Amino acid sequence: MRSKAERPDAKLRRGRRGDLGALVAIERELFSSRIFAGHLISRASFRRLLASPSATFIVAEAGARIAGYLLVLYRANSLAARIYSIGVTARFRRRGLARRLVAAAEKDAVRRGRKAMRLEVRADDRGIIALYELSGYRRIGRAPGYYGSRIDALRLEKALGKEPRQRL
């Protein structure tokens, strides 16, 4: 196995129709456990979302391989965007890729005129919660049983755009 230093850096780009097979494979690899039952994105949904003007896929490509993705949804007449799904393959974790995907999604949301980014995350997933909190997200609620009868979700939000100037 090659060391992290020898692996190619991932480049971020928009998802496209030709990514469909790789996106479905990543989704199944990462989210096929029963914990995520009912939350797995189907092939048909991926196909529809890749073509939808109300969704943006940001894909991380390393060489000829997709290392991860992030899906943002946009509702009409809403000032908030929603991170619907994010996934990074095991081989590319712990390299800042998820943080880069989130930052790219925020930039896309600002470009589309959104003032906030929202998402739900498993309440027991300390790693991803820490990533979001370090990226400026704050807890705005809890969804009991969101991931099954015993697993809640935290609702997180981040204001987007220019940070207010602080008085000295």
Q: What is the pLDDT of residues 94-111, one digit of tens each?
A: 888 999 999 999 999 999
| CA 96 to centroid of chain Cα atoms | 13
Contacts of 38 by beta carbon, 8 Å cutoff, 6+ apart: none
What is the rounded distance in angstroms from the CA atom of residue 16 to the CA atom of residue 22?
11
Secondary structure of the chain: what % helix, strand, coil (to 5)? 35, 30, 35
Residue range 23-80, pLDDT digits in tens: 988 888 777 555 554 557 888 998 999 999 999 999 999 888 889 999 999 999 999 9
Tokens found for residue 144: 């009991």
Give the whole-angstrom CA distance, residue 153 versus residue 155.
Answer: 6
pTM: 0.84
Domains and CATH numbers, the chain: 10-116 (3.40.630.30)
